[in-house]
Amino acid sequence: MTTSTIRIDERTRVLVLTGAGISAESGIPTFRGADGLWENHPIEKVASMRGFVDDPILVWRFYSQRRADAKAVAPNAGHHALARLEERLGDRFLLATQNVDGLHTKAGNARVVEMHGTLWKTRCSRCDREPFDDEEVYLGDLPGCGACAKRGESALLRPHIVWFGERLDPRDLARIDAFVRASRGSRLVFLAVGTSGRVSPASELVVHARDAGAETWLVNLEPSDNQGAFEHVVHGASGAVLPSLFV
């Protein structure tokens, strides 16, 4: 627990970055927890195009299980604290999340950038049709792209997730950057929650925000890889720390 607080006034803008740790108290395992493995497969194998090409059934089984797990859980006190903060700040708030579980939206946050995609959409692995809403689980039969089939081509559908080695959507990065740039002349607070700071470009946001003059905070259970870049570090569980962090 912490006695630290972030003072919020009418000049304050807050950019939050969340990672798997904030959903841990809802019952969703983190990536680099006990062993960083899923059914003995390294995360890179089930979250990369190479893994999908090698074994699409395995990859769809992984994401199908993640869909089922995420559907069964509810947001926790950490998510709710961020929803209340957005209610207070309105457009002076932006939440960039690396999580794909949709729990921030479930908690009531609307100004959310899902940097690594979402479990709740599917897209074609080949054509550029728009990603579409999809809650299906695919446990054996692989889903094919109907749009490609109409052209006599064959292609698999894939989860709408940013895998290792894939570029993040430039529109998402631009939205975060625009929020930071619009903060000139205000007081900008950057808060990272529940992330190991190991995966770029999310791990570099703290430097970007700091260069723009932000006050930087980290709330994490354990030391993160990039915690030296933060001015304020609070070690604790987000569900315990966040509800009393903002005053």
- Residue with smaller CB distance to ligand BJW, 31 or 125: 31
HSE-CB for 92 with a 13 A CA cutoff = 19
Q: Does 31 bind ligand BJW (CB under 6 A)?
A: yes
Residue 197: CB minimum distance to ligand BJW, A: 7
Q: How far is 173 from 183, CA to CA, in rounded Å?
A: 16
Distances (CA, A) of 45 to 40, 103, 185, 201: 10, 25, 45, 20
- Residue whose CB is less far from ligand BJW, 65 or 147: 65
- Whether 116 sits among the annotated catalytic residues: the reply is yes
Helix ranges (H only) for the chain are 21-24, 43-46, 49-54, 56-71, 77-89, 103-107, 146-150, 170-181, 205-211, 238-241
Nearest-approach distance from CB 129 to ligand BJW, in angstroms? 21
Name which of 49, 104, 48, 144 is nearest 238 in CA terms.
Answer: 104
| Minimum separation from the CB atom of position 179 to ligand BJW (A) | 20
71-97 as b/e: b if 16+ CB within 10 A = eeeebbbbbbbbbbbbeebeebbbbbb
Q: Which is nearer to ligand BJW, 117 or 148 (CB)?
A: 117
Site for ligand BJW in 88-107 (CB under 6 A): 98, 100
Q: Does 114 bind ligand BJW (CB under 6 A)?
A: no
In terms of CB distance, is 146 or 165 closer to ligand BJW? 165
Q: Which residues pair with 144 in a beta bridge?
A: 156
Residues 107, 162, 191, 234: which binds ligand BJW (CB under 6 A)?
A: 162
Question: 18: Cβ–Cβ under 8 A, 6 or more apart, which residues?
Answer: 82, 95, 96, 97, 98, 99, 104, 192, 193, 194, 195
- Residue in 79, 116, 160, 208 annotated catalytic: 116
Segment interacting with ligand BJW (CB under 6 A) among 133-141, 149-157, 209-217, 220-228: 220-228
Piece in contact with ligand BJW (CB under 6 A), picked from 120-128, 140-148, 179-187, 221-229: 221-229
Among 172, 208, 221, 232, binds ligand BJW (CB under 6 A): 221
Q: Does residue 122 belong to the site contacting ligand BJW (CB under 6 A)?
A: no
Task: Decide if residue 205 touches ligand BJW (CB under 6 A).
Answer: no
Residue 24 CA, chain-centre distance (Å), reads 13
Q: Give contact residues for ligand BJW (rule: CB under 6 A).
A: 19-21, 24-25, 30-32, 43, 47, 98, 100, 116, 161-168, 194-196, 198-201, 220-222, 224, 237-238
